[in-house]
Structure 1
């Protein structure tokens, strides 16, 4: 069995710091070279009636997939097409309404350059992201975004490292410029990320989570103290709403109210719901966002809230456990 090579922790840290320094310098160089071509590329993608088709081979291809995903998630329809597969039929995915963003550090990728004439024949705008302004890809592109770096972070100056970092950063810069130009907002982001935390916070409404129907604790103002306690215990929400004949919640009685009455002493059995309730309870509309319900509960230090419809009728109840199960909080 071959022995593991000796490990030098100090050298590992030294190389890590060197890598970060090189990549930071690479990004500073990309920033310094930003010019009107970047603005024109952003406008070309913004005005595109189809999709931004991202292409790249090898490590540039991996970067391209990430850029396409970032664009798509921030409001710019985009997809990745592998250049080698494009030569074998996938080029049919590209239409004259699209824009192609071709990524190649050397600008001499055979698979990519083989399809450039076909793209030009279709009249598809071609944006090149490359490290060489004199490359074949750059010469045939409508616009060139420079991702050139002085050196790779790899000690052999071979493995794509700083160059791929520059490509990813340029792709992020395009995505940010485009989302700003589109007026892309939080709710737009949530619609493309419905399974994420932001999607849950911005797309889930109170009506989606609230208890309703027979699960709601409710009594009329004339209900006895015993009836009110049975309703609270049976529904398990820690409160009961006091509802008038029109179905509006005119008051609330909670577990905390019960404890305070007991501490005061006195006869409770003869009291009615209307006599012990808190009038004008906190309510929230069933059409409100669940995150607004969470904010309301936090602001007033309550664990449950009454839900009402557009006419002010008691239609639901929501507590912090419901919000936690839905991962709103």
Structure 2
């Protein structure tokens, strides 16, 4: 068995060393909507029916397919293009994608240790350029099979994306939530029409522990989304809420993709983009949080 794996690894390594080598991997992304709804469940304005409706819509919205095209040193990662269903509003979907930290074409160059991604947010195009995040991977001997590949487990604690609403939760623990709910129910009926400032009741989850499974048989230092840095292609990533799982791998593909960094949009660093989005979210909080004189939002 070991000899078979060594021979396969040698063949793939030889293949990858070829000047025109390119591969492709398909990933399916799914998010546990129940976890998200648990995080926002303390909002008393959301009825059980509304909660069920939101959860069903989110489930469909979060089920996405992505394509990773890669060569020896670089990759592009992009959502598979699909036609909107009849009557579906594509604009709202694009805005939600932006608020989930996604969208655009993500380019990673592990040789130069940089990445760039083009994003549209509230009608304005941005081009984020920055250094690749450095993951302190803890590699283990634990294995499992994904497709035809033996994968090894690695974990890392990572800072969360402040522009992705999946990384937010209600402030305080369960006890505090219960106390708030009791106090809300005890309020006089004359306050029933008073709106709750939802954004003031949530906080960002600053860190998450992610689990990755990588295949040493494919000795490429790449992975889905922003993940990289393991001695093999990452075939699965789980951050406790979202799972990105590889469903297909093709090496030495004939129809080669153009693996180049995107060029369209206002050039910003990741920090500058996050600050822009956070500022806009704060503006929306002020507009829709029950304060007087909402008015139209300011531009960038």
TM-score computed with the length of structure 2 as normaliser? 0.18
More strand by share: 2
More helix by share: 1
Higher relative contact order at CA 8 Å, sep ≥6: structure 1 or structure 2? 2
